A and B are shown apart, each in its own frame.
Chain A
Amino acid sequence: MKKWVAFWNILLKDMRAYYLKPPNISWGLIFPVAWTGMFFIKSGSGLEQIPALLPGVIAISVLFGTTSMLAVTITFEKKNRSFDRLLLAPISLNLLMLAKTAGAILFGSANAIVPIALALFLTDLSAISWVTVLPAIILIAIVSTFLGLFIAVSVSEVFEAQTFSNFFRFPMIFLCGLFFPIDSLPAVLRPLSYILPLTYGVDILRKAINRTNVMALGLDFFIITCFCAILFFISLRNINRKWIT
């Protein structure tokens, strides 16, 4: 029970101190909306094209919502040594890192509500399978958060965390089928799409929203879950190796 008191308070502290602050909201929401607007205007499509764009918008909102702050805050806490305080608390490293990432997962998942709410207002979404959308959003939030964690553990300076985050995030916008189907990518780039976790999350959303998926749903869920586990355990191993020297 004591461990869960610690878990809950680490989560609450991070939400209050970081995730609900204006800079995060701007990165997490305004930036994806601006990108979507750009694609929407460029395509010259009408409102009937919204379901086609929605999987990409949801995915990008979750991606930026989760990674915009997590990598930076963990690097910042490590730098000013307040992270040591957490490492010295009598809770396991697994639980500690789940607590540190839970805020980003929740915030990222909540970010997905914004484009969905806008789309609901503008077009008919009755054909969407919400039962599939919901776990897809959560899995995308988890995998993006763990990617942020992986980045945080790999760098030592806050500016490096920002740069390294963008190194992953921007290629994913183009390579993961968010706005262009993977099939339309040059053959040489296509293998890259399949080694990026977001590809599988977007494919699930495509299946649930407009049935334009390219892989089987079960395979998507399996691969993205594997990515979550691999990124989390690599990050834990790196923390153990680099931060507890």
Chain B
Amino acid sequence: MRIHESMPPESVQDSLIDVVKLTKKFDDVTAVNEISFSLHQGELFGFLGPNGAGKTTTINMLTGLSRPDSGTIRVAGQDCTENPKAAQHLIGIVPDESNLYPELSGFDNLCFCASLYGLRKNERQERARELLETFGLKEAGGRKFAGYSKGMKRKLTIAAGIIHRPQILFLDEPTTGIDVASARQIRQLIADLHSDGTTIFLTTHYIEEAERLCERIAFIVKGQIVRTDSVKNLLQPLLGRQVMLISVSSVANDLSGKLATAFRNYEFQSISPEQVHIESVEPISLGPLVRFIEEQKIQVKEARRIGPSLEDVFVGVTGIEANVLKKEAEKKGGSA
């Protein structure tokens, strides 16, 4: 696994967050190991990695819920390593679990969260009404948070995170565990916040989500950032490559191995026992491939040419199969 030192593409002066060699250990386990990255004003930065990679620990250190063992954190020019309170007024946080107050209504929850940032009564009530409207929760505003659906809880938690109009928003897996429609709506809301100029730090299990929303992405595995770059740069090496996905009707033992022996110009990878991923710099001839598979007494269900995706980059850089992330998200109740 190659480890790339993450270098900010622009000058450090432009950075809103600067993290240098941040490390956090829990007993003998190094949860985050000397990671460095920068976030620029107005940027949507993705933090992508499997469970236990160190995503939430990193957010906790950046926001002040956890103390780093070493390294430095600067937010808006202020050293927050020892004094995280220095920049907390600039930050909004949406944790991976909706953690508002079950016994308060949606409206009261938003007003309470606004009061924590010192907003006055009229201002916070006006802002709460505005956000309930924006997030499609106007009708539910008077109901207790405990009675909300998962998607509604997630939306209200995001609304609570931006009630004080933070410069920087930390979103920890915002679409995990909610229905497809709510996830789509939340992605649109994130895109809107970004276009309004909010700097966003997004952690996610969903590679497609990161590809669709983020400008730059860091891949984090076992507490280390293995690659940080813009989505465009990450995809660049794959642009000249041909990619195809073949689905078969029954479980095929070592089909990719047999294909690799027969077709030495192509690269094969089993996505699942019923799916083979094929990559090549040359055009892929489908006919010989299908005939070969059928000679193995396996029926081809579907063959599909696909464009190069961030998933391919992720697999290439981290060595982790992309479906591992999907399964982890599903385990957390995800459907997005």
* Chain A residues with a Cβ under 8 A of chain B: 1-3, 5-6, 8-10, 13, 17, 80-82, 84-92, 244-245
Residues of A within 8 A of B65 (CB): 84, 87-88, 244
Give the docked Cα–Cα distance between A81 and B95 (Å). 9
Interface residue from A13, A82, A85, A88 paired with B64 (Cβ < 8 Å): A88
Please classify the interface of chain A as helix (H, G, I), strand (E, B), loop, or mixed, using the class held by over half of its residues: helix
Chain B 104-148, CB-CB to A under 8 Å as 1, else 0, gives: 100000001101111110000000000000000000000000000
In-complex Cβ contact of A87 among B64, B67, B112 (8 A): B64
| B63-A9 in contact (CB<8A) | no
For this complex, 24 residue pairs linking A to B, each with C-beta atoms less than 8 Å apart, are A1-B118, A5-B120, A6-B117, A13-B104, A17-B103, A80-B102, A81-B95, A81-B99, A82-B99, A84-B65, A84-B95, A84-B99, A85-B160, A87-B65, A88-B91, A89-B88, A89-B116, A90-B88, A90-B89, A90-B116, A90-B117, A91-B116, A244-B65, A244-B66
- B263 CB-CB contact with A under 8 Å: no
Q: B164: shortest Cβ distance to chain A, in Å?
A: 9
Q: Which residues of B contact A88 (CB under 8 A)?
A: 63-65, 88, 91, 93
Give the CA-CA distance A245 to B115 in the complex, in Å: 26
CB A4 to nearest CB in B, in angstroms, measures 8
- Contacting residues, chain B, for A80 (C-beta < 8 A): 99, 102
In the complex, are the beta carbons of B112 and A9 less than 8 A apart? yes
Cβ–Cβ < 8 Å partners of A8 in chain B: 115
Q: Which residue on B lies nearest to A80, using beta carbons?
A: B99
Count B interface residues, CB 8 Å. Answer: 28
Do A92 and B112 touch across chains, with their CB atoms under 8 A apart? no
Query: What residues of chain A lie closer than 8 Å to B116, measured between beta carbons?
Result: 6, 9-10, 85-86, 89-91
CB-contact partner of B115 in A5, A17, A81, A82, under 8 A: A5
Which of A2, A81, A244 is the one whose CB lies under 8 Å from B118? A2
For A6, give the chain B residue with the smallest CB separation.
Answer: B116
| A90 adjacent to B112 (CB under 8 Å) | no
Say how far A160's CB is from chain B's closest CB, in angstroms. Answer: 21
Tell me the bound Cα distance from A243 to B118 in angstroms. 24
* Besides A9-B112, A244-B67, 17 other A-B contacts (C-beta < 8 A): A5-B119, A8-B115, A9-B115, A10-B115, A13-B104, A17-B101, A81-B97, A82-B99, A84-B65, A84-B95, A85-B113, A87-B64, A88-B93, A89-B88, A90-B88, A244-B65, A245-B26
How far is it, in angstroms, between the C-alpha of A85 and the C-alpha of B117 when the chains are bound? Answer: 11
- In the assembled complex, the Cα of A202 lies from the Cα of B103 at a distance in Å of 36
Separation of A81 and B67 alpha carbons in the complex (Å)? 18
CB-CB under 8 A for A89 and B117, given A13-B104, A17-B101 = yes
Asked if B200 is at the interface of the complex by the 8 Å CB criterion, the answer is no
Is the Cβ of B85 less than 8 Å from the Cβ of A92?
Answer: yes
In the complex, which residue of chain A has the Cβ closest to the Cβ of B87?
A: A90
Whole-angstrom distance between the Cβ of B264 and the nearest chain A Cβ: 52
- Chain A's nearest CB lies how many Å from the CB of B245? 40
Cα distance A88–B120 in the bound complex, in angstroms: 19
Q: Once bound together, how far apart are the Cα atoms of A245 and B32, in whole Å? A: 14
Secondary structure class of chain B's binding surface, majority of residues: loop
| With A2-B117, A5-B118, A9-B112 as contacts: A82 and B100 at CB distance below 8 Å | yes
User: Chain A contacts of B66 at CB under 8 A?
Assistant: 244-245
Interface positions of B (Cβ within 8 A of A): 26, 63-67, 85, 88-89, 91, 93, 95, 97, 99-104, 112-113, 115-120, 160
- Closest A residue to B104 by CB, please name it: A17
Residues of B within 8 Å of A10, CB to CB, are: 115-116
Which of B26, B95, B160 is most buried by chain A, counting CB atoms within 10 A of its CB? B95
Which of B99, B112, B119 makes the CB contact (< 8 A) with A13? B112
CA distance A87 to B95 in the complex (A): 13
Q: Measured between alpha carbons, how far is A203 from B12 in the docked complex, in Å?
A: 64
Report the minimal beta-carbon distance from B166 to chain A, rounded to whole angstroms: 11
Chain A residues within 8 Å of B63, by CB: 88
Complexed CA–CA distance, A200 and B101 (Å): 37
**Looking across the interface, which residue of chain B has its beta carbon closest to that of A85?**
B99
Interchain nearest-CB distance for B162 vs A (Å): 14
Q: Which residues of B contact A84 (CB under 8 A)?
A: 65, 95, 99
Give, as a whole number of angstroms, the nearest-CB distance from B26 to chain A: 8
**Chain A contacts for B97, CB-based, 8 A:** 81
The minimal Cβ–Cβ distance linking A94 to chain B, given in whole angstroms, is: 11
Name B63's closest neighbour in chain A (CB-CB).
A88
Q: Which residue of B lies closest to A81 (CB)?
A: B99
With a cutoff of 8 Å between Cβ atoms, the chain B residues found around residue A9 in the complex are: 112, 115-116
Query: In angstroms, how far is the closest chain B Cβ from the Cβ of A80?
Result: 6
Chain B residues with CB under 8 A of A17: 101, 103-104
In the bound complex, residues from chain A placing their C-beta under 8 Å from that of B99 are 80-82, 84-85
- The residue among B97, B99, B104, B120 with the most chain A CB atoms within 10 A of its own CB is B99
Shortest Cβ distance from residue A83 to the other chain B in the assembled complex, whole angstroms: 9
In the bound complex, residues from chain A placing their C-beta under 8 Å from that of B118 are 1-3, 5-6, 90
Across chains A and B, which 10 residue pairs bring their CB atoms closest together, nearest first? A2-B118, A9-B115, A89-B116, A81-B99, A90-B88, A90-B89, A5-B118, A82-B99, A6-B116, A17-B103
